């Protein structure tokens, strides 16, 4: 039987044939830490006396807060710079742009290669047929010190994209359509491969957009098999290239057809990236701002799409349009080709290259009551600010900024919508702001009282908000746990040492932040038991030695305060009051080994 793309890449980087479920050490070609996670990587390396396996394959990227406008970001960046100077490590500093894009454009990795980063969208590398994976700071520290990390080979899903999108549809509309099809966890824990004429016809920039939202579907990565144009681009950038393509007889867990024939412009409504509808369904919604950029839509072609609409037009009165190219190279090309002049004449604010608002460190955030059309990949509550965020393509975002309300590029009105005096709305915004401001030998048996967090798709922003990412002391993290999950903000005040969290599916989806794991350890939580976990979150917890288990207790009738006992080695879960038992997934050998020694980086 043949192999899928992920199986071929992992086999080539582990020195053995692999199958789904195998756990192997994977050699990593490019090992990156960002500015918010980099300081913790340095801390882990220094505290555990680790070296650097290959400085030439190791680098920092400062893309979350290029301006260092927050003191903690500035401090973390300087910690990384100082460490890099001492160890001979490259720093792609605040003037360079988004790390995953630099990895492609500057040849850090090519088709068939491997990359890890403290970036949950490292799977953007699937755009060139490379394996990119977001990981927590312990994983990255291990990769820096050893050149390889353990990885569980995922199963693969084949996605056949059929039909021809309508003339107004863009790659962002295609991936939003896929997100509507699969939902927030439809690709949970799998590697997917796109195929079909509409995919094959995409440029590299369009492929980046398609690959960038695998995380929002719960996927490990989505691959777009590289064509000759992509391969040549990567070779010209200096990357070695050994493209991997699936065999004709490769085995897939599922083969899914997604029909894009006649596809029209789409938008994801606030709060859920998978709540996708046609733009017409929300057309006319008055907006306060628009944002064009992010790792999903900060490429040159995205800038061109926006400029074509903004040429000889102006942003609507009272609306703020913020534009942030993904890299400095793209920024300079926009300058050379006259796009910057178009943006400025239209009244847009142009930021230096970087991640922008979705990382809470650069322009792009919105305030309470503010309505934004954004080209980012996430619109979870609080992710890009305190307001409402609609996800859309650069064409739709630019058109809406011109119109002052949500519209498609084909329906921009002759006169923009304008704000009317509304004292009640101003009072509500102030109230919302006030509300937001106030708001070694270890036992293999765990017993404690439960907290039933009866939600699916609890993302890492809900668990540990991005405004606290600069915190590096675990002792300080517990107080912020569930600080962005409705009705659970007081959890840190109620939980006691030894308590167990029982929750739904896809727990910990979203960002790669380690703090979303460490905050539970800070509170003394003895176990997190979920129906399933986000892929990055799961390995972050395992590597931290934080006990987590997959199990479904829907039929147990649990209430807050009930006591359960869990055997980590067998997966047996006992409801103490009734004596009823349920089966969870026992720890794998790797998970148990890491747990017993107190974490991946622990000695012993």
**pLDDT (tens digit per residue) in 136-171:** 999 999 999 999 999 999 999 999 999 999 999 999
**Phi and psi of 321, rounded to 5°?**
-110, 120
Stretch (H or E) spanning 6: helix 5-14
In the chain, the N- to C-terminal Cα span, in Å, equals 40
Strand pairing category for 266-268 and 320-324: unpaired
Query: What is the predicted pLDDT for the residue at 560?
Result: 96
Mean pLDDT for 505-524 is: 95
Distance from C-alpha of 203 to C-alpha of 229, rounded to nearest angstrom: 8
Helix axes 35-47, 137-146, angle to 10 degrees: 60
Query: What is the predicted pLDDT for the residue at 428?
Result: 52
pLDDT classification of 358: cutoffs 50, 70, 90: confident
Residue pair 196/227 in contact by the 8 Å Cβ criterion = no
- The pTM of the whole model exceeds 0.85: yes
pLDDT classification of 363: cutoffs 50, 70, 90: confident
User: Residue 353 carries which DSSP code?
Assistant: S
Look at residue 148 and give its three-state secondary structure: strand
Look at residue 303 and give its three-state secondary structure: helix
**What average pLDDT is seen over the chain?**
93
Residue pair 178/212 in contact by the 8 Å Cβ criterion = no
**Alpha-carbon torsion 167, 169, 170, 174, what sign?**
negative
Distance from C-alpha of 260 to C-alpha of 173, rounded to nearest angstrom: 9
Q: What is the DSSP string of 458-476?
A: -BHHHHS-GGGTT---HHH
Of the listed ranges 249-253, 303-307, 431-435, 534-538, the one predicted with least confidence: 431-435
Q: Is the pLDDT of residue 504 over 70?
A: yes
pLDDT classification of 67: cutoffs 50, 70, 90: confident
Provide CB contacts within 8 A for 36, sequence distance 6+: 64, 65, 73, 76, 118, 359, 361, 469, 470, 513
Q: Where are the alpha helices (DSSP H) in 70-111?
A: 71-87, 99-105
**Domains within the chain, CATH numbers bracketed:** 5-259 (3.30.499.10), 266-412 (3.30.499.10), 445-596 (3.20.19.10)
Query: What is the predicted pLDDT for the residue at 438?
Result: 34
Q: Is the pLDDT of residue 364 over 50?
A: yes
**pLDDT (tens digit per residue) in 309-329:** 999 999 999 999 999 999 999
Q: Which residue has the tokens 């046609």?
A: 278
Q: Is the pLDDT of residue 432 over 80?
A: no
Q: For residue 104, give both structure tokens.
A: 């492609």
Strand partners, 420: none
Provide CB contacts within 8 A for 137, sequence distance 6+: 33, 37, 40, 41, 43, 44, 118, 514
**pLDDT (tens digit per residue) in 570-592:** 999 999 999 999 999 999 999 99
Mean pLDDT for 119-129 is: 96
Cα dihedral 201, 204, 210, 216 in deg (nearest 10): 170
Q: Is the pLDDT of residue 439 over 80?
A: no
Q: Is the pLDDT of residue 440 over 60?
A: no
Distance from C-alpha of 165 to C-alpha of 176, rounded to nearest angstrom: 13
pLDDT > 90 fraction of the chain, expressed in percent and rounded = 87
Query: What is the predicted pLDDT for the residue at 515?
Result: 95
pLDDT > 70 fraction of the chain, expressed in percent and rounded = 96
* CA neighbor of 564 nearest in space, from 583, 586, 581: 581
Cα dihedral 15, 16, 22, 27 in deg (nearest 10): 10
Residue pair 146/116 in contact by the 8 Å Cβ criterion = no
Stretch (H or E) spanning 161: strand 156-162
Q: What is the DSSP string of 165-187?
A: --TT--HHHHHHHHHHHH-TTTT
Distances (CA, A) of 477 to 158, 269, 536: 40, 31, 19
Distances (CA, A) of 407 to 85, 105, 266, 280, 521: 49, 33, 10, 7, 46
Query: What is the predicted pLDDT for the residue at 91?
Result: 96
pLDDT classification of 467: cutoffs 50, 70, 90: confident
Largest CA distance in the chain: 73
Cα dihedral 253, 254, 255, 260 in deg (nearest 10): -130
Look at residue 373 and give its three-state secondary structure: strand
Residue 308 exposed, middle or buried by CB count within 10 Å (0-12, 13-18, 19+)? middle
* CA neighbor of 359 nearest in space, from 460, 267, 489, 429: 460
Helix axes 204-211, 228-236, angle to 10 degrees: 100
* CA neighbor of 104 nearest in space, from 313, 330, 401: 330
Residue 471 vs residue 26, higher pLDDT: 26
pLDDT classification of 427: cutoffs 50, 70, 90: low
**Phi and psi of 176, rounded to 5°?**
-65, -35
**pLDDT (tens digit per residue) in 94-120:** 999 999 999 999 999 999 999 999 999
Distance from C-alpha of 343 to C-alpha of 3, rounded to nearest angstrom: 47
**Phi and psi of 115, rounded to 5°?**
-145, 140
Cα angle 72-496-580, degrees, rounded to a multiple of 5: 130
Strand pairing category for 572-575 and 563-567: antiparallel
pLDDT classification of 466: cutoffs 50, 70, 90: confident
């Amino acid at each position: 039987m043949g192999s899928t793309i992920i199986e071929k890449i992992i086999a080539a980087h582990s020195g053995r044939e692999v199958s789904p479920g195998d756990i192997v050490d994977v050699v990593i070609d490019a090992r990156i830490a960002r500015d918010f996670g980099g300081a913790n990587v340095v801390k882990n390396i220094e505290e555990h006396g680790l070296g650097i396996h290959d400085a030439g394959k190791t680098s920092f990227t400062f893309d979350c807060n290029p301006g260092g406008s927050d003191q903690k970001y500035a401090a973390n960046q300087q910690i990384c710079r100082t460490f890099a100077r001492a160890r001979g490590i490259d720093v792609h500093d605040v003037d360079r742009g988004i790390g995953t894009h630099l990895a492609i454009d500057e040849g850090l990795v090519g088709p068939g290669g491997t990359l890890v980063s403290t970036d949950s969208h490292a799977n953007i590398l699937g755009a060139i047929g490379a394996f990119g994976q977001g990981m927590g700071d312990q994983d990255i520290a291990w990769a820096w010190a050893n050149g390889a990390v353990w990885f569980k080979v995922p199963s693969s899903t084949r996605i056949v994209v059929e039909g021809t999108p309508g003339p107004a549809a863009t790659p962002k509309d295609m991936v939003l359509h896929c997100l509507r099809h699969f939902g927030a966890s439809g690709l949970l824990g799998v590697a997917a491969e796109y195929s079909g004429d509409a995919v094959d016809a995409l440029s590299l920039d369009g492929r980046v957009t398609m690959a960038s939202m695998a995380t929002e579907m719960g996927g490990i990565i989505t691959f777009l098999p590289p064509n000759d144009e992509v391969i040549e681009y990567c070779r010209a950038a200096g990357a070695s290239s050994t493209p991997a393509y699936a065999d004709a007889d490769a085995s897939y867990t599922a083969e899914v057809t997604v029909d894009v024939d006649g596809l029209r412009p789409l938008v994801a409504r606030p709060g859920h990236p998978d709540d996708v509808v046609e733009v017409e369904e929300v057309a006319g919604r008055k907006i306060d701002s628009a944002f064009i950029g992010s790792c999903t839509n900060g490429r040159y072609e995205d800038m061109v799409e926006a400029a074509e609409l903004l040429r000889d037009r102006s942003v609507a009165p009272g609306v703020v349009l913020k534009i942030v190219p993904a890299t400095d190279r793209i920024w300079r090309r926009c300058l050379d080709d006259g796009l910057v002049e178009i943006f400025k004449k239209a009244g847009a604010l142009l930021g230096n290259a970087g991640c922008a608002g979705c990382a809470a460190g650069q322009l792009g955030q919105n305030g309470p009551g503010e309505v934004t059309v954004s080209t980012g990949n996430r619109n979870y509550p609080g992710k890009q600010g305190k307001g409402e965020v609609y996800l859309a393509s650069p064409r739709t975002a630019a058109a809406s900024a011109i119109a002052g309300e949500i519209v498609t590029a084909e329906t921009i009105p002759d006169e923009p919508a304008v704000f009317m005096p509304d004292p009640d709305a101003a009072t509500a915004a102030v109230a919302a702001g006030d509300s937001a401001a106030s708001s070694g030998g270890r036992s293999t048996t765990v017993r404690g009282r439960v907290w039933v967090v009866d939600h699916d798709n609890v993302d890492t922003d809900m668990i540990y908000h991005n405004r606290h990412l600069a915190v590096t002391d675990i002792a300080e993290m517990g107080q912020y746990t569930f600080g962005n999950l409705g009705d659970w903000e007081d959890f840190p005040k109620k939980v006691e040492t030894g308590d167990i969290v029982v929750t739904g599916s896809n727990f910990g989806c979203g960002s790669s932040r380690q703090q979303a794991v460490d905050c539970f350890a800070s509170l003394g939580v003895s176990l997190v038991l979920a129906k399933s976990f986000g892929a990055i979150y799961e390995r972050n917890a395992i590597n931290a030695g934080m006990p987590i288990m997959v199990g479904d207790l829907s039929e147990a009738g649990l209430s807050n305060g009930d006591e359960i006992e869990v055997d980590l080695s067998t997966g047996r879960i006992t409801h103490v009051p009734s004596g009823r038992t349920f089966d969870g997934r026992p720890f794998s050998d790797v998970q148990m080994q890491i747990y017993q020694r107190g974490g991946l980086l622990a000695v012993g």
